[in-house]
Amino acid sequence: ILNVEQSPQSLHVQEGDSTNFTCSFPSSNFYALHWYRWETAKSPEALFVMTLNGDEKKKGRISATLNTKEGYSYLYIKGSQPEDSATYLCAFQNQGGKLIFGQGTELSVKP
Amino acid sequence: GAVVSQHPSRVICKSGTSVKIECRSLDFQATTMFWYRQFPKQSLMLMATSNEGSKATYEQGVEKDKFLINHASLTLSTLTVTSAHPEDSSFYICSARERGVPRSGANVLTFGAGSRLTVL
């Protein structure tokens, strides 16, 4: 059984704080690492897909890095805003195309 | 952008009844749809993969006679929970891969908003 672990499980920050969370995944049979943003009562929204060791992606105040050799990815949010409040999911995609999700990190940003 | 509409968003049913959940791709054709289930505080677990016009592929431990999946068209896939029992109460969510996107590619999936099933 492949485990994708996300930490922390939940995070409460003040508006303006920068924050980061971690996704750890198996380093074997790796194809891609996905990050999704999931607001309550909405559909998960794709943020990034990364495939190469050392990949860094950025979208506005959100960025992500990938280390396939050691099996982790970081998601960073700079200057958190209340609208960033959501659950952030990572998913490990194996060579066969299957996605295995972590439990998510629930972020709450207080004004 | 691509949108997947999932209905109903919430359903409450009596034990022993069957419930159908629909996922429609609104502005694209989805050759493949994935169905997931999520229990509280747990991750999304893949239940089955359905390809348009063929039988669904179920993950280990998922009863195919219990969870009937139909993907009869390029824009619609349905999940029917047959003879539902309280232990089937869960959050069910679908995602779709657009036609033409390589199966083996690092492709992004488009999700529905999920359906919360409560079996009394």
Q: How far is A16 from chain B (nearest CA, A)?
A: 28
As a whole number of angstroms, the distance between CA A85 and CA A75 comes to 14
Residue A22 corresponds to which amino acid? Answer: T
Say if the Cβ atoms of B107 and A98 lie within 8 Å. no
Q: Name the residue with higher pLDDT: A78 or B103.
A: A78
Contact criterion met (CB below 8 Å) for A107 and A84: yes
**Which residue of chain B has the CA closest to A102?**
B43
Residue A83 corresponds to which amino acid? Answer: E
Q: How far is B65 from chain A (nearest CA, A)?
A: 23
Asked if residue B105 has pLDDT above 80, the reply is: no
* Res. B31 pLDDT band, cuts 50 70 90: confident
**Which residue of chain B has the CA closest to A33?**
B106
Among B33-37, B98-102, B106-110, the range scoring the smallest mean pLDDT is: B98-102
Query: Averaged over A96-108, what is the pLDDT?
Result: 92
* DSSP for B86-116, written as a single string: GGG-EEEEEEEEETTS-TTS-PPPEE---EE
What rounded mean pLDDT belongs to chain B?
90
Tell me which of B44, B51, B62 to substitute to probe the interface with A (most A C-beta atoms closer than 10 Å). Answer: B44
Element (H, E) at A110: strand A105-110
pLDDT of residue B25: 92
Tell me which of A43, A47, A89 to substitute to probe the interface with B (most B C-beta atoms closer than 10 Å). Answer: A43
